[in-house]
Amino acid sequence: MFPAVRPRRLRRTPAIRRLVAETRPAPAELVLPMFVREGLTGPRPISSLPGVVQHSRDSLRKAAVEAVQAGIGGLMLFGVPATRDECGSAGTDPDGILNAAIRDVVSEVGDATVVMSDLCLDEFTSHGHCGVLTPDGEVDNDATLRRYADMALAQAEAGAHVLGPSGMMDGQIGVIREALEEAGHTDTAVLAYAVKYASAFYGPFREAVESTLEGDRKSYQQDPANLREALREVALDIAEGADMVMVKPALPYLDVISAVAAEVDVPVAAYQISGEYAMVEAAAANGWIDRERAILEQLTSIRRAGAQIILTYWAVEAAQLLRKGY
Protein backbone atom coordinates (compact mmCIF):
# COMPACT_ATOMS: atom_id res chain seq x y z
CA MET A 1 0.00 0.00 0.00
CA PHE A 2 1.49 3.31 -1.02
CA PRO A 3 1.34 6.02 0.16
CA ALA A 4 0.77 4.64 3.65
CA VAL A 5 0.11 8.06 5.09
CA ARG A 6 -2.19 10.53 3.35
CA PRO A 7 -2.11 14.02 4.95
CA ARG A 8 -4.43 15.22 2.16
CA ARG A 9 -7.34 13.51 3.94
CA LEU A 10 -7.39 16.39 6.41
CA ARG A 11 -7.35 19.01 3.66
CA ARG A 12 -10.21 17.68 1.58
CA THR A 13 -13.11 19.99 2.48
CA PRO A 14 -13.46 23.46 3.99
CA ALA A 15 -15.13 21.85 7.01
CA ILE A 16 -12.29 19.50 7.78
CA ARG A 17 -9.70 22.20 7.17
CA ARG A 18 -11.55 24.41 9.64
CA LEU A 19 -11.65 21.59 12.18
CA VAL A 20 -7.92 20.94 12.12
CA ALA A 21 -6.67 24.54 11.82
CA GLU A 22 -4.03 25.08 14.50
CA THR A 23 -3.99 28.86 14.38
CA ARG A 24 -6.94 31.18 14.14
CA PRO A 25 -6.41 34.88 14.76
CA ALA A 26 -9.29 36.37 16.75
CA PRO A 27 -10.67 39.92 16.48
CA ALA A 28 -9.98 40.47 20.19
CA GLU A 29 -6.25 40.07 19.58
CA LEU A 30 -6.08 42.85 17.00
CA VAL A 31 -5.13 46.43 17.83
CA LEU A 32 -5.77 49.32 15.45
CA PRO A 33 -3.14 52.07 15.20
CA MET A 34 -4.86 55.46 14.61
CA PHE A 35 -3.50 58.89 13.72
CA VAL A 36 -4.97 62.16 14.93
CA ARG A 37 -3.80 65.42 13.37
CA GLU A 38 -4.14 68.76 15.11
CA GLY A 39 -6.21 71.36 13.27
CA LEU A 40 -8.10 69.07 10.88
CA THR A 41 -11.85 69.43 10.45
CA GLY A 42 -12.31 65.96 8.97
CA PRO A 43 -10.33 62.85 8.02
CA ARG A 44 -7.46 63.30 5.57
CA PRO A 45 -6.19 60.36 3.47
CA ILE A 46 -2.57 59.21 3.66
CA SER A 47 -1.52 58.45 0.08
CA SER A 48 1.05 55.78 0.90
CA LEU A 49 -1.42 54.03 3.25
CA PRO A 50 -4.57 53.68 1.16
CA GLY A 51 -7.57 53.26 3.46
CA VAL A 52 -5.81 54.80 6.48
CA VAL A 53 -6.39 58.45 7.42
CA GLN A 54 -5.20 61.20 9.66
CA HIS A 55 -8.21 61.84 11.87
CA SER A 56 -9.59 65.06 13.24
CA ARG A 57 -10.49 64.86 16.92
CA ASP A 58 -14.14 64.32 15.97
CA SER A 59 -13.57 61.70 13.31
CA LEU A 60 -11.24 59.86 15.68
CA ARG A 61 -14.02 59.54 18.27
CA LYS A 62 -16.39 58.13 15.65
CA ALA A 63 -13.82 55.72 14.25
CA ALA A 64 -12.98 54.55 17.78
CA VAL A 65 -16.63 53.64 18.36
CA GLU A 66 -16.74 51.72 15.06
CA ALA A 67 -13.57 49.85 15.97
CA VAL A 68 -15.04 48.84 19.30
CA GLN A 69 -18.22 47.67 17.57
CA ALA A 70 -16.10 45.52 15.25
CA GLY A 71 -14.90 43.69 18.36
CA ILE A 72 -11.20 44.41 18.12
CA GLY A 73 -9.01 44.32 21.20
CA GLY A 74 -7.61 47.83 21.40
CA LEU A 75 -6.53 51.10 19.84
CA MET A 76 -3.04 52.57 19.60
CA LEU A 77 -3.08 56.35 19.24
CA PHE A 78 -0.50 58.53 17.48
CA GLY A 79 -0.63 62.32 17.54
CA VAL A 80 0.46 64.68 14.78
CA PRO A 81 0.94 68.22 16.13
CA ALA A 82 0.63 71.40 14.06
CA THR A 83 3.92 72.77 15.38
CA ARG A 84 7.13 71.15 16.65
CA ASP A 85 10.13 72.23 18.67
CA GLU A 86 13.54 70.92 19.77
CA CYS A 87 12.31 69.11 22.87
CA GLY A 88 8.90 68.01 21.61
CA SER A 89 6.90 70.05 24.11
CA ALA A 90 3.55 69.21 22.48
CA GLY A 91 4.06 65.63 23.68
CA THR A 92 3.99 66.63 27.34
CA ASP A 93 1.47 69.47 27.09
CA PRO A 94 -1.79 68.18 28.64
CA ASP A 95 -3.63 69.95 25.81
CA GLY A 96 -1.24 68.65 23.13
CA ILE A 97 -3.02 66.78 20.34
CA LEU A 98 -2.17 63.27 21.52
CA ASN A 99 -3.09 63.87 25.15
CA ALA A 100 -6.32 65.62 24.14
CA ALA A 101 -7.17 62.72 21.83
CA ILE A 102 -6.53 60.14 24.55
CA ARG A 103 -8.99 62.02 26.75
CA ASP A 104 -11.54 62.16 23.89
CA VAL A 105 -11.30 58.46 23.11
CA VAL A 106 -11.36 57.33 26.73
CA SER A 107 -14.45 59.43 27.38
CA GLU A 108 -16.10 58.06 24.22
CA VAL A 109 -15.39 54.34 24.56
CA GLY A 110 -14.19 54.14 28.17
CA ASP A 111 -13.42 50.66 29.36
CA ALA A 112 -15.11 48.98 26.37
CA THR A 113 -11.68 48.69 24.80
CA VAL A 114 -8.01 49.13 25.66
CA VAL A 115 -6.76 52.60 24.83
CA MET A 116 -3.02 52.66 24.15
CA SER A 117 -0.80 55.58 23.29
CA ASP A 118 2.51 55.75 21.48
CA LEU A 119 5.08 57.18 23.85
CA CYS A 120 7.82 58.71 21.73
CA LEU A 121 9.05 62.16 20.80
CA ASP A 122 9.60 61.83 17.06
CA GLU A 123 6.20 63.24 16.07
CA PHE A 124 6.77 66.23 18.33
CA THR A 125 10.38 67.25 17.70
CA SER A 126 11.41 69.67 14.96
CA HIS A 127 14.34 67.41 13.98
CA GLY A 128 12.18 64.26 13.93
CA HIS A 129 14.35 62.14 16.22
CA CYS A 130 12.82 60.01 18.96
CA GLY A 131 14.63 61.98 21.66
CA VAL A 132 16.26 65.29 22.46
CA LEU A 133 19.66 66.09 21.00
CA THR A 134 23.03 67.00 22.49
CA PRO A 135 24.64 70.22 21.20
CA ASP A 136 26.51 68.18 18.58
CA GLY A 137 23.36 66.52 17.28
CA GLU A 138 23.47 63.08 18.95
CA VAL A 139 20.31 61.64 20.49
CA ASP A 140 20.87 62.18 24.23
CA ASN A 141 19.70 59.01 25.99
CA ASP A 142 19.40 60.21 29.57
CA ALA A 143 17.99 63.65 28.80
CA THR A 144 15.39 61.88 26.65
CA LEU A 145 14.43 59.61 29.55
CA ARG A 146 13.36 62.64 31.56
CA ARG A 147 11.12 63.76 28.69
CA TYR A 148 9.64 60.24 28.43
CA ALA A 149 8.83 60.24 32.17
CA ASP A 150 6.91 63.50 31.73
CA MET A 151 5.18 62.18 28.64
CA ALA A 152 4.15 59.03 30.51
CA LEU A 153 2.57 61.12 33.24
CA ALA A 154 0.71 63.28 30.72
CA GLN A 155 -0.66 60.21 28.93
CA ALA A 156 -1.59 58.42 32.15
CA GLU A 157 -3.34 61.52 33.42
CA ALA A 158 -5.24 61.74 30.12
CA GLY A 159 -6.50 58.23 30.88
CA ALA A 160 -4.51 55.90 28.60
CA HIS A 161 -4.79 52.32 29.81
CA VAL A 162 -1.53 51.18 28.23
CA LEU A 163 1.55 53.23 27.30
CA GLY A 164 3.66 52.11 24.35
CA PRO A 165 7.22 53.47 24.63
CA SER A 166 8.69 53.15 21.14
CA GLY A 167 11.85 55.28 21.26
CA MET A 168 14.41 52.52 22.00
CA MET A 169 16.29 54.55 24.62
CA ASP A 170 18.19 52.50 27.21
CA GLY A 171 16.38 52.42 30.54
CA GLN A 172 13.11 53.86 29.21
CA ILE A 173 10.84 51.24 30.75
CA GLY A 174 12.37 51.61 34.22
CA VAL A 175 12.15 55.38 34.20
CA ILE A 176 8.55 55.35 32.97
CA ARG A 177 7.45 52.69 35.47
CA GLU A 178 9.05 54.62 38.34
CA ALA A 179 7.42 57.90 37.31
CA LEU A 180 4.02 56.19 37.07
CA GLU A 181 4.38 54.54 40.49
CA GLU A 182 5.49 57.75 42.17
CA ALA A 183 2.50 59.62 40.77
CA GLY A 184 0.08 56.89 41.87
CA HIS A 185 -0.61 55.58 38.36
CA THR A 186 -0.03 52.04 39.51
CA ASP A 187 -2.69 50.62 37.18
CA THR A 188 -1.32 52.10 33.96
CA ALA A 189 0.30 49.25 32.01
CA VAL A 190 3.35 49.41 29.77
CA LEU A 191 3.60 47.66 26.41
CA ALA A 192 7.30 47.94 25.61
CA TYR A 193 8.35 48.16 21.99
CA ALA A 194 11.19 46.02 23.29
CA VAL A 195 12.46 44.87 19.93
CA LYS A 196 12.35 47.53 17.29
CA TYR A 197 14.47 47.29 14.21
CA ALA A 198 15.80 50.17 12.10
CA SER A 199 13.52 49.22 9.21
CA ALA A 200 12.99 50.48 5.69
CA PHE A 201 9.35 49.43 6.08
CA TYR A 202 8.47 52.45 8.24
CA GLY A 203 8.34 54.58 5.09
CA PRO A 204 4.59 55.26 4.85
CA PHE A 205 4.38 55.98 8.60
CA ARG A 206 6.70 58.91 8.02
CA GLU A 207 4.07 60.39 5.70
CA ALA A 208 1.32 59.59 8.20
CA VAL A 209 2.99 61.63 10.94
CA GLU A 210 4.55 64.20 8.58
CA SER A 211 8.00 63.23 9.81
CA THR A 212 10.76 65.78 9.43
CA LEU A 213 13.54 63.27 10.05
CA GLU A 214 16.72 63.55 8.05
CA GLY A 215 19.17 60.71 8.40
CA ASP A 216 18.16 57.54 10.21
CA ARG A 217 17.54 55.96 13.60
CA LYS A 218 20.31 53.37 13.46
CA SER A 219 22.01 54.61 16.64
CA TYR A 220 18.98 53.63 18.71
CA GLN A 221 16.88 51.13 16.74
CA GLN A 222 18.25 47.64 16.24
CA ASP A 223 20.25 46.20 13.37
CA PRO A 224 18.10 43.75 11.34
CA ALA A 225 21.05 41.34 11.47
CA ASN A 226 20.64 40.69 15.20
CA LEU A 227 18.47 38.17 17.02
CA ARG A 228 20.33 37.60 20.30
CA GLU A 229 20.34 41.34 20.88
CA ALA A 230 16.54 41.23 20.66
CA LEU A 231 16.36 38.70 23.49
CA ARG A 232 18.61 40.92 25.58
CA GLU A 233 16.36 43.95 24.97
CA VAL A 234 13.31 41.92 25.97
CA ALA A 235 14.92 40.65 29.17
CA LEU A 236 15.93 44.19 30.14
CA ASP A 237 12.46 45.58 29.51
CA ILE A 238 10.77 42.86 31.54
CA ALA A 239 13.24 43.39 34.38
CA GLU A 240 12.45 47.11 34.25
CA GLY A 241 8.72 46.43 34.57
CA ALA A 242 7.22 45.93 31.11
CA ASP A 243 3.80 44.26 31.31
CA MET A 244 3.89 43.18 27.66
CA VAL A 245 6.60 43.21 25.00
CA MET A 246 6.41 43.90 21.29
CA VAL A 247 8.42 42.99 18.23
CA LYS A 248 8.37 45.35 15.28
CA PRO A 249 8.15 45.04 12.26
CA ALA A 250 6.32 41.70 12.16
CA LEU A 251 6.48 39.69 8.94
CA PRO A 252 10.20 40.12 8.16
CA TYR A 253 10.95 39.14 11.80
CA LEU A 254 8.87 36.01 12.40
CA ASP A 255 11.95 34.22 13.74
CA VAL A 256 12.39 36.97 16.31
CA ILE A 257 8.74 36.79 17.38
CA SER A 258 9.09 33.05 17.75
CA ALA A 259 12.28 33.28 19.80
CA VAL A 260 10.83 35.97 22.08
CA ALA A 261 7.59 34.01 22.60
CA ALA A 262 9.58 30.93 23.60
CA GLU A 263 11.56 32.90 26.15
CA VAL A 264 9.10 35.06 28.09
CA ASP A 265 6.02 34.67 30.26
CA VAL A 266 4.41 38.04 29.45
CA PRO A 267 2.09 38.64 26.49
CA VAL A 268 3.96 39.10 23.20
CA ALA A 269 2.71 41.58 20.62
CA ALA A 270 3.87 42.22 17.07
CA TYR A 271 3.37 45.36 15.01
CA GLN A 272 2.58 44.79 11.35
CA ILE A 273 3.88 48.16 10.23
CA SER A 274 3.01 50.66 7.55
CA GLY A 275 5.32 49.26 4.87
CA GLU A 276 3.98 45.74 5.35
CA TYR A 277 0.48 47.13 4.84
CA ALA A 278 1.44 49.28 1.86
CA MET A 279 3.11 46.43 0.00
CA VAL A 280 -0.05 44.34 0.06
CA GLU A 281 -2.29 47.26 -0.84
CA ALA A 282 -0.08 48.26 -3.76
CA ALA A 283 0.19 44.72 -5.13
CA ALA A 284 -3.54 44.17 -4.74
CA ALA A 285 -4.34 47.48 -6.46
CA ASN A 286 -2.34 46.21 -9.43
CA GLY A 287 -4.29 42.97 -9.42
CA TRP A 288 -1.15 41.00 -8.55
CA ILE A 289 -2.40 39.31 -5.39
CA ASP A 290 -5.70 38.45 -3.71
CA ARG A 291 -5.94 41.19 -1.11
CA GLU A 292 -8.16 39.56 1.51
CA ARG A 293 -6.32 36.25 1.40
CA ALA A 294 -2.99 38.05 1.66
CA ILE A 295 -4.17 40.01 4.71
CA LEU A 296 -5.38 36.95 6.57
CA GLU A 297 -2.38 34.86 5.58
CA GLN A 298 -0.03 37.46 7.03
CA LEU A 299 -2.00 37.75 10.27
CA THR A 300 -2.15 33.98 10.61
CA SER A 301 1.61 33.73 10.12
CA ILE A 302 2.35 36.40 12.71
CA ARG A 303 0.01 34.63 15.14
CA ARG A 304 1.55 31.24 14.37
CA ALA A 305 5.03 32.63 15.05
CA GLY A 306 3.89 33.39 18.59
CA ALA A 307 2.45 36.90 18.75
CA GLN A 308 -0.79 36.82 20.70
CA ILE A 309 -1.52 40.49 20.06
CA ILE A 310 -1.15 42.03 16.61
CA LEU A 311 -1.13 45.73 15.81
CA THR A 312 -2.41 46.11 12.26
CA TYR A 313 -3.93 48.86 10.14
CA TRP A 314 -6.34 46.17 8.89
CA ALA A 315 -7.67 45.43 12.39
CA VAL A 316 -11.29 46.41 11.72
CA GLU A 317 -11.52 44.84 8.28
CA ALA A 318 -9.69 41.70 9.42
CA ALA A 319 -12.10 41.38 12.36
CA GLN A 320 -15.00 41.49 9.92
CA LEU A 321 -13.39 38.91 7.63
CA LEU A 322 -12.63 36.62 10.56
CA ARG A 323 -16.16 36.94 11.84
CA LYS A 324 -17.51 35.89 8.43
CA GLY A 325 -15.47 32.73 8.96
CA TYR A 326 -13.27 33.64 6.03
DSSP 107-166: HHHGGGSEEEEEE-STTTBSS--SS-B-TTS-B-HHHHHHHHHHHHHHHHHHT-SEEEE-
For ligand PBG, which is the closer residue by CB, 207 or 263?
Answer: 207
Q: How many residues bind ligand PBG (CB under 6 A)?
A: 9
Is residue 217 part of an annotated ligand binding site? yes
Is residue 233 part of an annotated ligand binding site? yes
For ligand PBG, which is the closer residue by CB, 202 or 253?
Answer: 202
What separation in angstroms does the CA of 147 have from each of 138, 142, 176, 220? 16, 9, 10, 16
312 forms part of the interface with ligand PBG (CB under 6 A): no
Measured in whole angstroms, the distance separating CA 310 from the mean position of its chain's CA atoms is 8
Least separation in angstroms between CB 128 and ligand PBG: 9
Least separation in angstroms between CB 49 and ligand PBG: 8
Angle at 77 between CA 133 and CA 47, to 5 degrees: 85
Which of 274, 278, 299, 305 is in the footprint of ligand PBG by CB under 6 A?
Answer: 274
Which of 75, 98, 246, 273 is in the footprint of ligand PBG by CB under 6 A?
Answer: 273
Contact 266, 291 (CB under 8 A): no
Tell which positions 72-131 bind ligand PBG, by CB under 6 A. 118, 120, 122
For ligand PBG, which is the closer residue by CB, 51 or 110?
Answer: 51
Is residue 44 part of an annotated ligand binding site? no
Helical segments of 183-227, H only: 203-208
Q: Which segments within the chain are labelled E, that is strand?
A: 30-37, 44-45, 53-55, 74-80, 114-119, 162-165, 189-196, 244-248, 268-271, 309-311
Tell which positions 162-191 bind ligand PBG, by CB under 6 A. 166
Is position 248 annotated as part of the catalytic site? yes
Contact 245, 269 (CB under 8 A): yes
User: Which residue of the set 62, 218, 248, 324 is catalytic?
Assistant: 248
Is residue 22 part of an annotated ligand binding site? no
Is position 196 annotated as part of the catalytic site? yes
Angle at 102 between CA 37 and CA 132, to 5 degrees: 70
Contact 129, 198 (CB under 8 A): no
For ligand PBG, which is the closer residue by CB, 44 or 206?
Answer: 206
Residue of minimal Cβ distance to ligand PBG: 205
Which of 197, 202, 220, 314 is in the footprint of ligand PBG by CB under 6 A?
Answer: 202
Applying CB under 6 A, which residues contact ligand PBG?
A: 118, 120, 122, 166, 202, 205, 217, 273-274
Annotated binding site: 206, 217, 233, 274, 313
Q: Show which residues are catalytic.
A: 196, 248
